[in-house]
Amino acid sequence: MVMLFSLAWNPLQLYLFSSGKVSMVRVSVLNDALKSMYNAEKIGKRQVMIRPSSKVIIKFLTVMQRHGYIGEFEYVDDHRSGKIVVELNGRLNKCGVISPRFDIGVKDIEGWTARLLPSRQFGYIVLTTSAGIMDHEEARRKSVGGKVLGFFY
């Protein structure tokens, strides 16, 4: 096997090239979870397994479930990082993470909804606030700002 090394390659590319296998690079746990849900929804799967799990993912899924975009989900403790099995119902069109997590006030929520969502009555932005993780409508009702975690519609 001929090994070609270029100075323009980063260390990750060199590792992937030398090992012969390509694996997913972990960007963020929440981003990977939402991306796997979106991909499973696109190909028509009825459920998806997310691992590793975190409290932020569980709260994000709770907001999605409250608005009917996903069905039931179950946390499975495997004595490692845990996994979550999510039932999909075919209603999720797009979901994503906003990185970096921008600070927004109550007055800025309207601008972010116009920028991220397809229409005013369609979709939700998820914020992490001092009152917990909630959607933009609940944050506006409670008049609290926070950091933008992501969106779904």
* Per-residue pLDDT tens over the stretch 116-148: 999 988 999 999 999 999 999 999 999 999 999
What pLDDT score was predicted for residue 10?
52
Q: Would you tell me which CATH number, out of the four given (3.40.50.2300, 3.40.190.10, 3.30.1490.10, 2.60.40.1230), belongs to the domain 98-152?
A: 3.30.1490.10
Residues of the chain with CATH 3.30.1490.10: 98-152
Domain 29-88 class, CATH top level: alpha beta
On whether the pTM is more than 0.85, the answer is no
Question: E strands, the chain, where?
Answer: 47-50, 70-76, 83-88, 95-97, 103-104, 124-129, 132-135, 146-152
> Are 60 and 97 within 8 A, CB to CB?
no
CA distance 66 to 70: 8
Single-letter amino acid code for the residue at 28: S
Q: Output Rg (C-alpha) for the chain, integer angstroms.
A: 18
* Strand duo 146-152 + 103-104: pairing: antiparallel
CA distance 17 to 12: 9
Mean pLDDT of 9-16: 50
Q: For residue 24, what pLDDT band results from cuts at 50, 70 and 90?
A: low
Residues of the chain with CATH 3.30.1370.30: 29-88
- Read off the tokens for 84: 């979550």
